[in-house]
Structure 1
Amino acid sequence: MYAAMRAHRTGTHSPALAQGLAVFSLGCGALGFFVLSLLLGPLAILTGYLALLSARPFGARGRGERRGIALAKAGIVLGAVVLALYAVLLTARS
Structure 2
Amino acid sequence: MLIYLPIVLFATLPLTAVADNVPKFDIAQECKSEGGSTVMQEHCAGDEAQARDQLEPLWVQSAAADRAVCIKETSMDGSPSYVELLTCLEMARDVKKTSK
Q: TM-score range by the shorter chain?
A: 0.3 to 0.5
TM-score scaled by length of structure 1? 0.32
Largest Rg, 1 or 2: 2
TM-score scaled by length of structure 2? 0.31
Select the structure that is richer in helix. 1
The structure, 1 or 2, with the larger RCO (C-alpha pairs under 8 Å, 6+ apart) is: 1
